[in-house]
Structure 1
Amino acid sequence: MTKTTIVTIFNNKGGVGKTITTWNLGEHLARQGKKVLLIDFDPQCNLSIAALGETRFVGLLPDQNNPYGTCIRAFLQRFLQNIGGEQVFLHKGGTESASSLRILAGDFWLNVYSESLSVGNDLLSGTGIARFVILKRIIEQACKEFDDTFDYALIDLPPSFGSLVRVALYVSDYFLVPCTSDNFSAYCVGLLGQMLPQFLQDWRQGLGRFKSSNPLFSDYDVLGRPKFAGWIFNGFDTRAGNVVRADQVHKDRLTQAIQDDLVNKLSTASTQLGYNPIASNLPSDFCVGTTEDMNVLIQNSLWQSVPIGRLDKVKQVTDLQNKRAWAPQQLTQISNLRGAYNTLAKNVISICV
């Protein structure tokens, strides 16, 4: 059985397009012949609502007849309470979603799981390390439910440096960093460069203590080694086919910050981490994808639960009741964005191997 490649889409800054990137990257990987699992690991559940629709998503949540629901809580609550019977429920997207893509829906209850994790007592001591790698078990069970191995599992995360981020990174093979054209993105890249080496060193300490008591247990030996697989520049404006000057300035600043404050710091820490945390085959500027500002397209995508690149298959919603045809320039933009996500998917396939 082939191994599922796990990719986390992460930035501690909000509003950079993590959820939209996760959803649309997953769709385009699936349309290029890959079997893809999307995991909504954000208590806000934006990925679940976007891909499944609000009404359908609400129907997956726990109620008096099903106290665990058919979302991620059905596994995590049983695991946390040690009562057994953990279940993974996989859901298909809407009618325009790729047939080989499945979604593991989130739940606000993820906050409870996050609060149950103690970095000191559980992770650093090694005694509760299993709680920090639970996504590995979830993905393995998801493959059984799917009756096949997923080629990729993409994890959407909250904008924080909290415990849920650690849980995702420790099982991931790679991570992608979406960024936007604004004054704070370069600063936040610097924070990533400070925090990620510390997170990974914490894992090594916890694993070392765990192994001292369990020297023959090797399941966790290859975990805690995610590689930076590039960054994505989202939300810029174009004029006459070119990035506007202000946004180009931001991109240049981000490119420098990625090099100086993230790549260089991860590379410097590689000796202590015991592996090279930078993926091979990355472009010189480490940028693996670009998507321009989507304006009204993003609203329609979310309202109709239709991926950006498939919006030309439906009419646009004007006021949540009426629909009309897309204007020619909007169709052009949809086509351009479809091409952008296709390019991102191809880059991920070539890098995340």
Structure 2
Amino acid sequence: MLPKFINEWELGERSYKESNSFDNFIPSKGKPKWGGWIYNGFDSIRFPSLRERKETVIDEVHLKNVQEEVEKQLIPQLKDKIPYQCVPDFVNSEPIAKIEDLNNGASHIQHLNLPLKYLAMTKKPKKTSRRWSDYQQDLMDRMDKEYDSLAQHIINKF
């Protein structure tokens, strides 16, 4: 995907430069880079004895498989196929964010047209219950923090 995107980027850049030879700003911008990957759509379980949450067994296996592919296949191929350093030194096989499956929370976000950060402050938009369950509240809080962490990563690294 990235090699195709880079090719389209370069075509667009050439076309822009031909039509806007006076512009020095856009041509001064860098090239597309692969900033890492996001593990999303998984479920986790809280282990009281460990005092932590972990991916379910199947999702943990999937995560490890993806990490292995990123390390052994994706990163080497990007470094080999792209004629410049498109993989920054800070990128490795670890995901830059882990976004859990929001289950029915995602449809509520769309229905209420609210960002996740404010969803927990609303009443649940169903007739069966007026408030979010403790689990739903915890999930929204954790994912809000994960999105903030992802945004900070992008700001700090790019």
**TM-score bracket for this pair, using the shorter chain length:** 0.7 to 0.9
Deviation string 1:162-216 (CA, Å, 9 cap, x unpaired) is xxxxxxxxxxxxxxxxxxxxxxxxxxxxxx3xxx3244346557867997x78x6
| Unaligned ranges ≥5, structure 1 | 1-191
Match of 1:307 among 85, 94, 115: 115
> Structure 1 pair 199/300, CA: closer, same or farther in 2 (3 Å)?
closer
> Structure 1 pair 238/206, CA: closer, same or farther in 2 (3 Å)?
closer
| Equivalent residue letter for 2:72 | D
Q: TM-score, normalised by structure 2?
A: 0.77
Residue 64 of structure 2 is matched in structure 1 by 252
Residue 234 of structure 1 is matched in structure 2 by 40
> Structure 1 pair 292/205, CA: closer, same or farther in 2 (3 Å)?
closer
Residue 263 of structure 1 is matched in structure 2 by 75
Corresponding residue SS for 1:228 = coil
> Structure 1 pair 268/325, CA: closer, same or farther in 2 (3 Å)?
same
Number of residue-to-residue matches in the alignment: 150
1:244: how far off?
Answer: 0.8
Residue 87 of structure 2 is matched in structure 1 by 278
Q: What CA distance in whole angstroms lies between the structure 2 residues aligned with 1:327 and 1:210?
A: 52
> Structure 1 pair 266/318, CA: closer, same or farther in 2 (3 Å)?
same
Residue 290 of structure 1 is matched in structure 2 by 98
> Structure 1 pair 341/203, CA: closer, same or farther in 2 (3 Å)?
closer
Q: Give matches, 1:104-183, under 5 Å.
A: none
Corresponding residue SS for 1:303 = helix
> Structure 1 pair 217/232, CA: closer, same or farther in 2 (3 Å)?
same
Match of 1:338 among 144, 149, 154: 144
The two structures, once aligned, show a CA RMSD in angstroms of: 2.9
- Identity rate, percent: 24
> Structure 1 pair 316/226, CA: closer, same or farther in 2 (3 Å)?
same
| Equivalent residue letter for 1:297 | G
Q: What CA distance in whole angstroms lies between the structure 2 residues aligned with 1:221 and 1:285?
A: 31
1:217: how far off?
Answer: 5.5
| Unaligned ranges ≥5, structure 2 | 47-52
Deviation string 1:127-166 (CA, Å, 9 cap, x unpaired) is xxxxxxxxxxxxxxxxxxxxxxxxxxxxxxxxxxxxxxxx
